[in-house]
Amino acid sequence: MEEGVLFEITAENLETGMRGYPVGFCPTSYVDPIKGLHYMGKPISELALKTPEEVIFLLYYGKEPEHHDLVHFKKELASRAKVSKEVLDQIRTLPRKGHPMKLFASALLTEGMLEGKNDYKEDCLNIIAKIPTIIATLINHHAGWGESKPSDPKLGYIENFVNMLNLPQEKTEDLIFAMKLFNILHYDHGGGNLSTFVGKAVASGLEDMYGSLSAAISALAGPRHGRANQDCLEFVQKMQKELGDSATASQIESYLKKMIEKKELVFGFGHAVLRVEDPRATIFYNVAQKEYPNHPLVKLALNLRIAGVKVLSENPKISDPYPNVDAISGITLIAAGFPYPEYFTVLFGMSRTVGIARQIVYERQEARGGKGTPLVRPKYFYIGSLELSG
């Protein structure tokens, strides 16, 4: 933390999405430009293969659990996991048209109206415990797969979630592993990413946990944020269609150069903070290369990893030409047995709910010696109708 640093704000600094502006403290995670994402000071590479319950405990309590802590915490989550029939019935009445993130935002509002405690700490643990059931119900409904199997938290956080999904194909250990990995790697990402900031901003007006999370999920739904993983997959699938399954890194390199000449976007590369390959992407690449080396999308993604960096590095205006997590996370899910990209952002939101909810608790009940942060109210400068018409 830098102390006594003054920031001179000029006109050029405005209308830039507040990138880099310090506005508060994050108690759970941070992103180092070189070392990547850390939860409670621990690099994500050290946490990726732990259980979801262990990592959730770390984010919530600020320390890694001892064995007895973990046993108690699992019981705590299980005791809070039941979602009322009334809530589940309401989710199943939501329209199935449109993107499922719309249903996600609506389901959170419904849960808050029917089961909310109007207590940020209570609602934080409650939504973390209940979100697997809510999302399984939502996906089954939206996909037309029927009612979910009954929740059984004793199976484990993600094991229970996968068990509740009525997938048309067989569920495997590979799928459970990939879902755990995806879940853990997306829990939190500092305090200033759009969805987290929006959730905390809404909560600053003393909206309850569920309304704040609903707003955060709406922020996550956009293609420049959470839906980027779906867009990245569609980008690779388009490349597959045009170049074939056996495209080499050299062929992909030529393909990307033509795209750039046409000023088309290359999806899955670059990051607002990182200046190296996203360590979360590295974890996914390693898993995909080890477990699914012959999957056509994995082969393309691995060659794109090479070609993309080479081509984008040639552009001096690009400060981060390296893959981010979206470049490979969805492809890993497909290779592991979940070929439903319309739900990738929903899975992202299911995970990110953990970090956003915990950060809301901090800002509402722990920050500033327990007073909480004030209402978010940034300053905007009036520019007048002449500027608008010009």
| Catalytic machinery residues | 225, 271, 326
Pairing of strands 29-32, 36-39: antiparallel
The helix/strand/coil state of 37 is strand
Please choose, from the candidates 81, 85, 101, 183, the residue with its C-alpha nearest in 3D space to the C-alpha of residue 142.
Answer: 101
Dist CA 97 CA 165 (whole Å): 20
To the nearest 10 degrees (0 to 180), the angle between helices 157-164 and 120-143 is: 30
Q: Which residues contact 155 (CB under 8 A, 6 or more apart)?
A: 163
Partner residues linked to 323 by β-bridges? 269
Please choose, from the candidates 324, 364, 347, the residue with its C-alpha nearest in 3D space to the C-alpha of residue 187.
Answer: 347
Please choose, from the candidates 332, 336, 329, the residue with its C-alpha nearest in 3D space to the C-alpha of residue 280.
Answer: 329
Q: Tokens representing 172?
A: 């495997």
Cβ(158)–Cβ(354) below 8 Å = no
Kindly report the backbone phi and psi dihedral angles of residue 74, in degrees, each rounded to the nearest multiple of 5, phi listed first: -60, -40
